[in-house]
Amino acid sequence: MEINIREFAEGSRHPRIPFIEAWYIDEKYQGKGGGKLLMKTAEM
């Protein structure tokens, strides 16, 4: 997962916003909550 602070994000009125650029869950881990865990961690 790659998270950056963007100066602009489509649909946002805020000047600086955390933005998830890319994320990937290997096929063998899909459907097991890994993506949810990554998103929860990114929110911290």
Q: List pLDDT tens digits, range 11-36.
A: 888 888 888 888 899 999 999 999 99
Helices (H) and strands (E) in the chain, counts: 1, 2
User: What is the rounded distance in angstroms from the CA atom of residue 2 to the CA atom of residue 42?
Assistant: 9
Q: Which residue has the tokens 């489509």?
A: 10
Contact 20/2 with Cβ under 8 angstroms?
Answer: yes
Task: Give me the pLDDT at residue 26, please.
Answer: 93
User: What is the rounded distance in angstroms from the CA atom of residue 25 to the CA atom of residue 28?
Assistant: 8
Looking at the 3D structure of the chain, how many domains does it have?
Answer: 1
User: What is the rounded distance in angstroms from the CA atom of residue 35 to the CA atom of residue 17?
Assistant: 21
Structural domain for 22, as ranges: 2-43
Q: Is 36 helix (H, G, I), strand (E, B) or coil?
A: helix
